[in-house]
């Protein structure tokens, strides 16, 4: 059932995305570059939150999927049709996520976190090993794709991820995930195939991260395992999503925007202090903003009453 | 005699060297309330956990309406028609009272979704005596009301067999009376229930039959009056003569 409120929200989201899509006409330099980074993290953090938000399974494997995506483009951009690369990346990401999910999603809590962190490192080592065996080093991704193209592709992908998240939120699958996040035992005994539900969502976030990697490869120009699979990316995504809050679909976005601006500012003026920002944001989430900005917004709204009433 | 809904045959559960349940055999008939009673640590909860699929039996067979369910994952067993409550109440804290019950309706034996599931949930909450508090957060409920919500969630699956694991435990005397009446009314609705219980009053007034367990094995079976006067049962509860 679609209510008036749903229609209003859909229109608002479409308008916001449409507005964001106009940005390259305003600026094609520095601001576009930051906006592209924001779009990238918006897609990554939102799809991450679709899985980790309701289930409370903190995954640190974004870098693994992202890195694979960049390598799909790096290896295939000269021989394969360009439109097919993101699809291949999505397929590989989904399959890897399914395999990892089958093995690890019965692990809970900190064990799952550690495994996913290790996964990115494992994939990186594997790729490095293959490269050493074949005598390859890094690779150049020299294309005619501009920042503007990448930005628009990311905006399109963001629209897709938001739509998917909205649909999942209304579906039985979304409800099942909330139950799993609350009490997995109850979920099982209520008839929910908990492993399947978790794997489907984990595959989704894995596939999306791989597509983002595939789309962004031309931006890096030179790809090598140590940068493509850099674990910092996984941490950035987690911190941004939690800072914004995973309780709402727009939550991660609310974390991505301020965090990216701050990150950009700090890396320009004090490039060695970016990790400090990560740490401070983490402390802030733990001690002050347990539900992120979304949680804060909900608390304020409860205190001062709903808007317009 | 009514049709057999659940058939337990030679079910054994070993945890390492410990035999928690040994060669259990019993039937549950349609519209029957079967009590599983016995002293602490006699294997009652282990038995319930095997029926609901929390873990598989080490040996033996459990059939629901003729179909083998022993060793199947819990969600399959739930969909086939077994719903349960837990010894320590388990509600979904971030969900509202109604959503807690919809959780049972949406994925269980007879699945409902959307407006239908919600009105069904409200109906069940009314049924268990929670008409007014349906929109409250779960954290604000009194103890007996958390039990009511959990019961409504189990009922929302429309199970073939309902497992109540010490549902009456921890209630004060007034609440206990209310609780017993509630279960009694479910029995009058014609539900098939397995009850693990310590409260003797409840066993006497609710159970059609009882299975008594001690040290993992069945030591008696029959009407509550019969088994509660059985000498072996009395010994199991009160200890052997030399201990007494």
pLDDT in tens, A104-143: 877 777 888 898 989 889 999 998 898 888 877 778 888 8
Inter-chain contact B92–A191, Cβ cutoff 8 Å? no
Helix (H) or strand (E) holding A167, with range, is helix A147-170
Which two three-digit tokens encode residue B59? Answer: 């040996």
Return the pLDDT at A270: 85
Shortest distance between the Cα of A107 and any Cα of chain B, in A, equals 17
Return the pLDDT at A109: 74
Return the pLDDT at A247: 86
In the predicted structure, residue A259 carries a pLDDT above the cut 50: yes
Neighbours of B134 (CB within 10 A): 19
pLDDT tens, residue by residue, A178-209? 999 999 999 999 999 999 999 999 999 999 99
- Terminal-residue alpha carbon distance, chain A: 25
Assess B131–A contact: CB distance below 8 Å, yes or no. no
Return the pLDDT at B46: 94
ipTM of the complex: 0.91
User: How many Cα atoms sit within 13 Å of B141 on the Cβ side?
Assistant: 29
pLDDT, mean over chain B: 91
**Fold category of B1-81+160-244 in CATH:** Rossmann fold (3.40.50)
In the predicted structure, residue B45 carries a pLDDT above the cut 80: yes
If you average pLDDT over each of A18-27, B48-57, B182-191, which comes out highest?
Answer: B48-57
- The confidence band for B14, taking pLDDT boundaries of 50, 70 and 90, is very high
CB A109 within 8 A of CB A93: no
Return the pLDDT at B208: 93
CB B51 within 8 A of CB B57: no
Shortest distance between the Cα of A188 and any Cα of chain B, in A, equals 5
Q: B92, B109, B153: which to substitute to probe chain A, counting the most A Cβ within 10 Å?
A: B92
Q: Find, in chain A, the residue whose alpha carbon is nearest to that of B105.
A: A190
Assess B78–A contact: CB distance below 8 Å, yes or no. yes
CB B164 within 8 A of CB B191: no
Cα gap B42→B23, rounded to integer Å: 13
Q: What is the dihedral of CA B76, B79, B83, B88, to 10 degrees?
A: 50
User: Checking DSSP bridges between strand B161-165 and strand B193-196, what pairing results, if any?
Assistant: parallel
Return the pLDDT at A281: 86
Cα gap B229→B237, rounded to integer Å: 11
Inter-chain contact A178–B95, Cβ cutoff 8 Å? yes
Return the pLDDT at B61: 96
In this prediction, residues B199-207 reach a mean pLDDT of 88
Least-confidence region, from A100-114, B6-20, B155-169, B221-235? A100-114
User: How many Cα atoms sit within 13 Å of B78 on the Cβ side?
Assistant: 30
Return the pLDDT at A308: 45
The conformation of residue A2, written as its DSSP 8-state character, comes to -
Inter-chain contact A175–B103, Cβ cutoff 8 Å? yes
**Range list of β-strands (E), chain A:** 139-140, 222-223
Return the pLDDT at A309: 41
Alpha-carbon torsion (A204, A218, A242, A293), positive or negative? negative
In the predicted structure, residue A216 carries a pLDDT above the cut 70: yes
Return the pLDDT at A213: 95
Least-confidence region, from A39-48, A237-246, A298-307, B220-229? A298-307
Return the pLDDT at A272: 82
Assess A181–B contact: CB distance below 8 Å, yes or no. yes
User: Checking DSSP bridges between strand B59-64 and strand B4-15, what pairing results, if any?
Assistant: antiparallel
Q: What are phi and psi of B84, to 5 degrees?
A: -145, 160
Domain residue spans of chain B: 1-81+160-244, 92-159
Q: Is B233 helix (H, G, I), strand (E, B) or coil?
A: helix
Return the pLDDT at A161: 96
In the predicted structure, residue A306 carries a pLDDT above the cut 70: no
Cα gap B104→A181, rounded to integer Å: 15
Cα gap A62→A126, rounded to integer Å: 16
pTM of the model: 0.88
Helix (H) or strand (E) holding A73, with range, is helix A62-76
Q: Any idea which residue has 């009882």 for tokens?
A: B210
In the predicted structure, residue B240 carries a pLDDT above the cut 80: no
Inter-chain contact A172–B102, Cβ cutoff 8 Å? no
Inter-chain contact A186–B103, Cβ cutoff 8 Å? yes
- Measured in whole angstroms, the distance separating CA B217 from the mean position of its chain's CA atoms is 19
Between positions 192 and 221 of A, the ones with CB within 8 A of B are 192-194
Tell me the chain B residues in contact with residue A176 when contact means C-beta distances shorter than 8 Å.
106-107
- Terminal-residue alpha carbon distance, chain B: 40
Q: Find, in chain B, the residue whose alpha carbon is nearest to that of A184.
A: B92
In the predicted structure, residue A278 carries a pLDDT above the cut 90: no
Assess A182–B contact: CB distance below 8 Å, yes or no. yes
CA angle A157, A163, A169 (to 5 degrees): 135
pLDDT, mean over chain A: 89
Return the pLDDT at B49: 95
Helices then strands, each counted (H, E), chain A = 15, 2
B213 strand-pairing partners: B218
Return the pLDDT at B193: 95
Inter-chain contact A190–B109, Cβ cutoff 8 Å? no
With CA atoms as reference, report the closest residue to B100 among B151, B49, B161.
B151
- The confidence band for A307, taking pLDDT boundaries of 50, 70 and 90, is low
Q: Any idea which residue has 């399109």 for tokens?
A: A156
Residues 6+ apart with CB under 8 A from A70: A141, A213, A214, A216, A217, A220, A223, A228
If you average pLDDT over each of A81-85, A101-105, B66-70, which comes out highest?
Answer: B66-70
Shortest distance between the Cα of B191 and any Cα of chain A, in A, equals 18
Return the pLDDT at A79: 87
Cα gap A209→A69, rounded to integer Å: 7
Long-range contacts of A253-259 (CB under 8 A, 24+ apart): A253/A42, A253/A45, A253/A46, A254/A292, A254/A293, A254/A294, A255/A45, A255/A292, A255/A293, A256/A38, A256/A41, A256/A42, A256/A45, A257/A38, A259/A41
Shortest distance between the Cα of A186 and any Cα of chain B, in A, equals 7
Neighbours of A290 (CB within 10 A): 11
Whole-Å CA distances, A281 to A53, A63, A82: 18, 20, 38
């Amino acid at each position: 059932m679609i209510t008036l409120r749903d229609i209003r929200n859909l229109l608002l989201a479409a308008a916001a995305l449409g507005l964001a899509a106009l940005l390259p006409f305003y600026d094609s330099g520095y601001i576009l570059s930051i906006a592209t980074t924001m779009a990238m993290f918006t897609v990554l953090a939102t799809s991450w939150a679709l899985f980790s938000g309701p289930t409370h399974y903190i995954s640190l494997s974004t870098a693994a999927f992202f890195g694979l995506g960049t390598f799909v483009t790096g290896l295939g951009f000269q021989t394969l049709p360009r439109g097919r690369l993101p699809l291949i990346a999505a397929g590989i990401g989904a399959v890897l996520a399914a395999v990892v999910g089958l093995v690890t999603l019965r692990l809970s809590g900190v064990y799952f976190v550690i495994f996913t962190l290790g996964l990115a490192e494992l994939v990186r080592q594997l790729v490095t090993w293959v490269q050493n065996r074949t005598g390859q080093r890094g690779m150049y991704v020299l294309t005619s794709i501009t920042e503007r193209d990448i930005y628009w592709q990311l905006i399109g992908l963001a629209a897709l991820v938001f739509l998917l998240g909205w649909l999942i939120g209304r579906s039985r699958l979304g409800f099942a995930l909330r139950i799993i996040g609350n009490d997995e035992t109850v979920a099982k005994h209520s008839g929910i195939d908990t492993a399947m539900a978790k794997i489907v969502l984990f595959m989704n976030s894995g596939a999306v991260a791989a597509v983002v990697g595939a789309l962004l490869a031309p931006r890096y120009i030179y790809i090598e395992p140590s940068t493509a699979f850099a674990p910092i990316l996984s941490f950035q995504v987690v911190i941004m999503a939690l800072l914004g809050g995973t309780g709402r679909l727009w939550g991660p976005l609310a974390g991505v925007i301020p965090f990216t601006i701050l990150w950009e500012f700090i890396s320009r003026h004090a490039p060695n202090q970016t990790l400090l920002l990560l740490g401070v944001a983490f402390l802030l989430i733990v001690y002050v903003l347990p539900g992120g900005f979304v949680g804060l917004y909900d608390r304020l709204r409860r205190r001062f009453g709903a808007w317009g009433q | 005699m009514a049709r057999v809904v659940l058939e337990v045959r030679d079910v054994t559960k070993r945890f390492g060297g410990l035999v928690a349940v040994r060669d259990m055999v019993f039937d549950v008939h349609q519209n029957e309330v079967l009590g599983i009673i016995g002293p602490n640590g006699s294997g009652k909860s282990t038995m319930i956990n095997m029926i609901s699929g929390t873990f598989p039996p080490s040996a033996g067979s459990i059939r629901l309406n003729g179909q083998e369910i022993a060793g199947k994952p819990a969600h399959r067993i739930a969909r086939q028609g077994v719903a349960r409550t837990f010894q320590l109440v388990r509600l979904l804290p971030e969900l509202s009272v109604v959503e807690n019950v919809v959780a049972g309706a949406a994925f269980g034996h007879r699945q409902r979704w959307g407006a239908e599931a919600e009105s069904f949930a409200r109906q069940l909450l009314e049924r268990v005596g929670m008409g007014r508090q349906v929109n409250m957060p779960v954290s604000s409920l009194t103890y007996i009301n958390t039990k009511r919500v959990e019961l409504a969630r189990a009922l929302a699956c429309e199970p073939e067999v309902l497992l109540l694991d010490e549902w009456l435990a921890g209630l004060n005397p007034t609440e206990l009376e209310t609780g017993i009446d509630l279960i009694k009314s479910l029995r009058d609705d014609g539900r098939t229930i397995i009850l693990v219980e310590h409260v003797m009053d409840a066993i006497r007034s609710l159970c059609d039959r009882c299975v008594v367990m001690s040290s993992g094995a069945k030591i008696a079976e029959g009407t509550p009056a019969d088994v509660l006067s059985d000498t072996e049962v009395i010994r199991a509860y009160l200890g052997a003569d030399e201990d007494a």
